[in-house]
Structure 1
Amino acid sequence: MRTSELIISEPIPFYKAYIDVLGDVELLDILEGQLKNFPNFIENIPESKLNYAYEPEKWTIAQVLLHIIDSERVFQYRSLRFSRGDKTPLPGFEQDLYAPNSRAETRSKQSIIEEYQAVRQSTITLYKSFNVETLKNEGVASNLPWNAAILGFVICGHQKHHRNILRERYLL
């Protein structure tokens, strides 16, 4: 499925920006492409900068990277539930609690890369099992309507959004 094929019945304003940043792409292509290039991006971050934040009260680079991984796990779980026809509304998650509790300051760059690769490979495996109808299965999370396809593109766009922030504000 391509982003241009998405049918978003109700606005998901905050999250739609993550879809728009991708342009018109095929979901499995972008999932797999990011698995190839994002570890290289992380690898090029100096280990000494992992605990750097560009302002007080902002997340460190390591916290941002773990936020990307944590969010992917949450969105992947939602995709699994909706793809299986589970209509139970899902709550949101408090990302601002995850970052300080991630123990990012204890993590090596290599451990972050390994965790990212494992989570993304799991996402790809899940999405490869979906067909077009499965991708359209809907559910509610954070009081917003979603389907598995939208969540897949949000996973990719969320990563791209934060990679751009890391480049623009942290890795000058």
Structure 2
Amino acid sequence: MLVSDLSASEYAPFYHNYILSVGENDLITELGNGKDEFISFLENISKDKLSYAYAEGKWTLAELILHVIDAERVFQYRALRFGRNDKLALAGFDQDIYVPESNAGSRTKKTIIDEYNTVRESTLSLFRSFNDEALKRVGNASGSDMSTRAMGFIICGHQAHHLKIVRERYL
């Protein structure tokens, strides 16, 4: 399944730019390539950079990375619910509440990389378990209908979005 297989009705307009940033590989390849790229990127960042914020009131680099991890967990949960044909609408989440609770300032680069790797491997395992029917199922989160497969591409695009911000503003 490719991102070009999605229709705009499978995700909220808010996620359109995330979807556009995904390459034309199949979903599992995109998730795997994204994992390799992100880990390589993180391994090459100096540990001193983790506490850097590019402006007052902005997240530190460690907070931003942990936000990517937290959001992937939330998106993964949504995909699980949609893929298993759960029809209950899901509430949104407030990233600004999650970030201070991530304890980013007390984390090491290694623990952040390990956590990211674990979460992405779990995402890969989940999406490999879905058949075509499950991938096309639609659920509702944050007041918008979204397909299981769109959630996978949103995970890829959300990470790409933040990686771009890191390169532009943090390094």
Structure 1 length-normalised TM: 0.97
Secondary structure in structure 2 of the residue aligned to 1:58: coil
1:12 aligns with 2:12: yes
Distance 1:52 1:114 in 2: 20
Shift in Å at residue 36 of structure 1? Answer: 1.6
Q: Deviations over 1:30-64 (max 9, x none)?
A: 11111222111001111001010000000000000
**Which runs of structure 1 show a deviation greater than 4 angstroms over 4 or more consecutive aligned residues?**
none
Partner of 2:72: 72
Secondary structure in structure 1 of the residue aligned to 2:120: helix
Partner of 1:139: 139
- The residue correspondences of 1:80-95 to structure 2 (distance < 5 A) are 80-95=80-95
Matched letter for residue 129 of structure 2 = S
Please tell me the root mean square deviation across aligned C-alpha atoms, in Å.
Answer: 1.0
Matched letter for residue 50 of structure 2 = L
Shift in Å at residue 10 of structure 1? Answer: 6.2
Matched letter for residue 169 of structure 1 = R
Structure 1 vs Structure 2: percent identity of aligned residues? 51
Structure 2 length-normalised TM: 0.97
Q: For the structure 1 residues 15 and 88, does the alpha-carbon distance in structure 2 shift closer, same or farther, using more than 3 Å as the test?
A: same
Secondary structure in structure 2 of the residue aligned to 1:99: helix
Q: Deviations over 1:105-145 (max 9, x none)?
A: 00001100000000000000000011111101110000011
Partner of 1:106: 106
Partner of 1:96: 96
Unpaired stretches in structure 1, ≥5 consecutive residues: none
Q: For the structure 1 residues 120 and 10, does the alpha-carbon distance in structure 2 shift closer, same or farther, using more than 3 Å as the test?
A: closer
Number of aligned residues: 171
Unpaired stretches in structure 2, ≥5 consecutive residues: none
Distance 1:20 1:59 in 2: 25
Distance 1:7 1:123 in 2: 22
Secondary structure in structure 2 of the residue aligned to 1:9: helix
User: Could you tell me whether the CA contact under 8 Å between 2:11 and 2:147 is conserved in 1?
Assistant: no
Point out the structure with the larger helix share.
2
Shift in Å at residue 25 of structure 1? Answer: 2.6
1:117 aligns with 2:117: yes
Shift in Å at residue 11 of structure 1? Answer: 6.0
